[in-house]
Amino acid sequence: MLLFLFFSACPCPTVAAQNLDANELAIIKWSESHTEEAIDLIESLVNINSGTYNQQGVKQVGAILRTELDALNFETRWIDLPSEMKRAGHLFAKHDGNRGKKILLIGHLDTVFEPDDAFQTFVREGSTATGPGVEDMKAGDVVIIYALKALQHVGALDDSQIMVAFTGDEEETGKPVHVARKDLIEAGRWADVALGFESGIDSDGKEWATISRRSSSAWCLEVRGKQAHSAGIFNDKTGAGAIFETARILNGFYTEVRGEEYLTFNAGTIMGGTEVDAGCEQPKGKVFGKTNVVPNRAVVRGGMRTISDQQMERAREAMRAVVAQNLPVTEASISFRDGYPAMAPSVGNQQLRDMLSSINLDLGREAMPILDASKRGAADISFVAPYTDGLAGMGAYGKGGHTPNESLDLDSIPIAVQRAAILIYRLSR
């Protein structure tokens, strides 16, 4: 069982100032004076539609960020994916140095909002902004850029070893996944530390550190029965039919597999009848059946989230065991498709959290407890988690991601920039 330590402390600005060196104080001052510039850049990015399938839009966002990274003396490259994957590609950048940890900074260029969505424009009202991808995760991309600019301002970027990875298909990863994430995984093997810049969590005034994220994978249940007149259902010749068998299996998942901490699984779609135009690869279909006919086919598509590969395998074996106990004259099979792996908690991740929490105290804020992994979804940082220590949720604060109510707390931008820049600075020393 995973045990998380939660604690808090009062902000103590006098003590905090004593723990910040001259460069760190300069980073704070610079970030505060350049917040409006950062907001302008966020607005520019949000007003470019970059839905995952809008390849041109994703490339336009990447081109703007590439210009920013070029100006910081990073070696940038655009990575095209095979045309059949129907994805724009990725922007990677590297700053060669010879000092401190090798640090990987992870963001993404795409959003869930395609060109035909009604939600298209950045709108600012006081200290809040709304817009497609403003929180997930164009603000996080800009936090990366401005943290690097702050480091350049104080001369701390020169010898640092930093790689930036902006993927173009985080919201719906191209298939096969091992091709779509090949370059990111290689970057993870190179790095000592990975930092993910999706939105931070500020709940009821409390700031959290993310040291783990659950996986996201898929499962598909296919069930066969014998089509016959319903007057004969349950007899030895006709059996239970495909839908009763499907109901048995799903109930078995609920009663026999459910319950382990951090394990969740969802049945997202179900179709059953005598004519079922549906399969494991398609999110929609057509179905026909009659109440006086025993159905011969059913298909259920679902998802699963786990805290580790080991937990995922245990759940899969338990589901296979339930599926195998067929009702009379039925048969069923379940298949699994890997997606995002888990970012399991580790000692190294905990140590990074301790550093980040210490920085937050030095900034005159509170200590940062560890966020429960069940409160975050999957993210690209999970692909590098087996190879390097990591922290996620390094971005500015927002809410309503993936909805028309997506918003960003603009006051959190300089805070996120300061935390990221000082953490990179200390890791590079």
Over the stretch 56-97, which tens digit does the pLDDT of each residue have? 999 999 999 999 999 999 999 999 999 999 999 999 999 999
- Helical residues (DSSP H) of 123-181, grouped into ranges: 139-153, 177-180
Residues whose CB falls within 8 Å of the CB of residue 152, separated by 6 or more in sequence, listed in order: 72
CATH class of 216-340: alpha beta
The Cα 155–Cα 122 span in angstroms is 33
Please state, in angstroms and rounded to a whole number, the distance separating the CA atoms of residues 339 and 327: 31
- Residue 45 to residue 153: CA distance in whole angstroms: 23
Vertex 163, ends 161 and 166: CA angle to 5°?
Answer: 165
pLDDT tens-place string over residues 190-218: 999 999 999 988 777 789 999 999 999 99
Residue 421: closest CA among 169, 153, 223, 167: 153
- How far are the Cα atoms of 118, 161, 162, 389 from residue 98, in angstroms, in the given order? 48, 6, 10, 19
Question: What mean pLDDT is predicted for residues 388-394?
Answer: 97
- Rounded CA separation 355/217 (Å): 32
CA distance 357 to 276: 54
pLDDT in tens, 256-277: 999 999 999 999 999 999 999 9
Strands 389-391 and 193-196: parallel
Is pLDDT above 50 for 285? yes
Q: Per-residue pLDDT tens for 392-428?
A: 999 999 999 999 999 999 999 999 999 999 999 999 9
In percent, the amount of the chain with pLDDT more than 90 equals 92
Domain ranges of the chain: 15-213+343-428, 216-340
* Res 16: pLDDT: 57
What is the rounded CA–CA span in Å between residue 267 and residue 253?
10
> Which of 374, 268, 246, 256 is CA-nearest to residue 315?
256
Residue 10: pLDDT over 60 = no
- pLDDT-derived band of residue 184, with 50, 70 and 90 as boundaries? very high
Structure tokens at 18: 């004593």
Q: Are 290 and 274 in contact (CB under 8 A)?
A: yes
- The structure's pTM equals 0.89
Give, in order, the Cα–Cα distances in Å from 359 to each of 106, 194, 202, 224: 20, 17, 16, 58
**Residue 236: C-alpha distances to residues 137, 226, 232, 250, 327 (Å):** 57, 11, 9, 23, 11
We find that the CATH architecture of domain 15-213+343-428 is 3-Layer(aba) Sandwich (3.40)
For the chain, give the percent of residues with pLDDT over 70: 96
Q: Looking up tokens 């700053």, which residue turns up?
A: 95
